[in-house]
Amino acid sequence: MATLQKKERLKKELSLPSIYAIATGATLSSGFFLLPGLAYEVAGPAFILSYFIAALHLLPAVYSMAELSTAMPRAGGVYYFLDRSMGPMLGTIGGIGTWLAMILKTAFALVGMSVYIKLFAPDIPRVPLAVGFAVLFGVINLFGAKKTSTFQIILVSIIFTILALFLGAGTINIEPVHFQGFFDSGWDAIYATSGLVYISYVGVTKIASVSEEVQNPEKNLPRAMMLALITAIIIYILGTSVMVGVLTPHELNGALTPVAMAAEKLFGPIGKILLTFAAILAFFSVANAGILSASRYPLAMSRDKLFPQLFSALSKHGTPKYAIYLTSLLIIAFLLLFDPTKIAKLASAFQLLLFMLSCMAVIIMRESRIEAYDPGYKSPFYPWMQIAGIAAPALLIVEMGWLPVLFTVGLISLGAIWYFYYAQQRVDRDGAIFHAFARLGKRQYSGLETELRGILKEKGPREKDPFDVVLARAHVIADCGGESFETIARRASAELARRLPVSADTLTDAFLRGTRIGATPVSNGVALPHTRLSEIDNQELVIVRSHEGLFVKKHEEEPDEEKREENRIHALFFLVSPEQNPGMHLRMLAQIATHAEEEDFIDNWLNASDEHELKKLLLKDERFLTIDVMPDTKNASLIGRKVSELNFPAECLIALLYRDNDIIIPRGGTEIRAGDRLTVIGEPEDIETLRQRFG
């Protein structure tokens, strides 16, 4: 039998503004404050187009990451996606490589700020200063993602304010003459420069690694990624145009502090100070977001036994403390032992490889046909978007030369060695690629579908899912006495057959067959017999309560008395859904299972006084209201009025009407009488409005 388990997870503390700040803050650093002068050196003023071309190259990866992270919102981001799609070996290689690449980028950001600090304090030693900030950001991250993101929002808000002043004043002071000979360097140079500045945008996808901590990930993750990418494109295009238009070619060519130089021309010394401050904050933002994102990789890999279990431990603040310790220590080690400004650039080719693999992961997950793979956001133009996302980075890697490629091979080798000598004997898991192979007669790993179903349960129903409506109109068998499971299945099927164009025998056979093969989730006194049929267009549910309890048999086994008592079932939910919408079916099951896991569910279930009380255990209070229509109360105004005449909020629906112990499905012409009990469902704010009107 399938069971439903609840594992310790990171707190969902990150809102849309939080992850937008993380993604944007991780993007606006070296790409804006350091690279423009170097890019101008190669492509001239047309390097502005290089930033746009680089963004286009990233778009397939952003779309793919958005889809994967809404289907599998788990710590570890790219590692988790690669592991679950292609198996633990590629997951290990991708996880270790991405983790180290992020550490390098974070160290690079901490050192990069020294270029701007030296404009005013040339005698401050850069390495001790960078180490001090690495310790500071590590400590901030220990206090939870919410506090980290709050700090990030403050940083990004200040940066945006300063940049708005810079871009506003700079736009009206552009010298058109500086754009002469725009295309003189040629398209080859422009395209090659897009490979140089491509790194400017990769921070957009960092939030995938913290997707487990995001509130409403199905909406907020794609929105944050797209908003961050659009923000970055606008700032890069406008900002580089201002730099070209304000600085002479001689000043901009090869400059390491082009923004400060342009600001000094626009505002004088105060402008230089202000933009230098913004640059330092931008590098701080990258470092802060880098530690937050990178530390989730050891956590995720530890959960999967690819790293020592120590790194999956959470602190009292709900943060992966040992993963943060290790990540911060490695950043400090890179600062003390190497020159991150040289090494970090080499990791760009590996990042491009990961983006290629992420696009491939979407293809594998979709072609695996796993029903529980249910992303809240789907990449457009599949599979051509993903094919472009595989081909375009490959071209950029070729443009980068042999040294970054060699560095990438080294990271791949390190991950492979770790997998074969440490992780291989500890894992027994394959990726979704074997589900795709199963269609060709190869093997598949069934544990992945179970894991994805668990993720569905955590995500809960979508706004458009008819969970409340289906539950409100569900038929209830309040007490089935000492009847067997097969008898109850026949009673439930007969009731469902009255509402659906399918026979009771067909439904009974489907429910019993699912139970025999172990497809019926059974746990904590609850069973969820379910099936999907092509003949129907809507979901229907029958709810059963058994005070005495019954035993749901798997195969023909005859359990002993002790096992029978342990598996006694008191709540059954017979769900039937359309064949063509497996995701909605699984989300409905997952939502029921979530309620059934609550500690006092069975006690409350058995003590419920009537059908209304039973359903109330499954409906959220803020989306559900019962109105008892009685004379001499403020509800008396409803008596004698038709449902169509009620002035209820537009999003509210009278799902059921109880009258003289009978259930009536209300229509527009149904007249409300004294003694009626109305079951109303709707959006929380609308339900609250009715609650204040009617109590």
Q: What is the pLDDT of residues 160-184, one digit of tens each?
A: 999 999 999 999 999 999 999 899 9
Distance CA 498, CA 476 (A): 14
Residues 178 and 244: beta-carbon distance below 8 Å: yes
| CATH architecture of the domain with residue range 461-615 | 3-Layer(aba) Sandwich (3.40)
CATH 3.30.70.1450 maps onto the chain at: 621-694
Helix count and strand count (H, E) for the chain = 29, 10
pLDDT above 70 covers a percentage of the chain that reads: 90
Q: Quick one: tokens of 412?
A: 């791949």
Which residues touch 190 (CB under 8 Å, ≥6 apart)?
43, 46, 47, 49, 50, 53, 183
Placement of tokens 């230098």 in the chain: 276
**Per-residue pLDDT averaged across 409-436, rounded?**
78
Residues 259 and 33: beta-carbon distance below 8 Å: yes
Angle at alpha carbon of residue 519, lines to 518 and 524, rounded to 5° = 80
> pLDDT band at 561, cuts 50/70/90?
low
* 614: enclosing H helix or E strand: helix 611-616
pTM: 0.77
**Per-residue pLDDT averaged across 528-535, rounded?**
90
| Distance, CA of 220 to chain centre | 8
* 100: enclosing H helix or E strand: helix 88-117
Which residues on neighbouring strands pair with residue 545, listed in sequence order? 571
- Residue type present at position 79: Y
Which residues touch 269 (CB under 8 Å, ≥6 apart)?
none
pLDDT number for residue 564? 53
| CATH architecture of the domain with residue range 16-426 | Up-down Bundle (1.20)
Stronger pLDDT, 551 or 460, i.e. the higher one:
551
Please tell me the least confidently modeled range out of 223-237, 549-563, 672-686: 549-563
Mean of the per-residue pLDDT values of the chain: 84
Q: Quick one: tokens of 546?
A: 């058994």
| CATH 3.40.50.1220 for domain 621-694 | no
Which residues touch 154 (CB under 8 Å, ≥6 apart)?
none
CATH 1.20.1740.10 maps onto the chain at: 16-426
CATH 3.40.930.10 maps onto the chain at: 461-615
Which residues on neighbouring strands pair with residue 625, listed in sequence order? 680
Q: Quick one: tokens of 158?
A: 């200040």
**Per-residue pLDDT averaged across 654-674, rounded?**
81
* 450 pLDDT more than 50: yes
**Per-residue pLDDT averaged across 469-485, rounded?**
82
Classify residue 549 as exposed, middle or buried by CB count within 10 Å of its CB (0-12, 13-18, 19+).
middle
**Per-residue pLDDT averaged across 629-640, rounded?**
86
* 659 pLDDT more than 80: yes
pLDDT number for residue 105? 82
The packing angle between helices 35-43 and 187-197, to 10°, is 160
- For the chain, the straight-line distance linking the first and the last C-alpha, in angstroms and rounded, comes to 43
Residues 614 and 663: beta-carbon distance below 8 Å: no
* 628: enclosing H helix or E strand: strand 624-628
pLDDT number for residue 444? 52
Closest CA to 158 of 30, 243, 284: 284
* 413 pLDDT more than 70: yes
Residues 676 and 620: beta-carbon distance below 8 Å: no
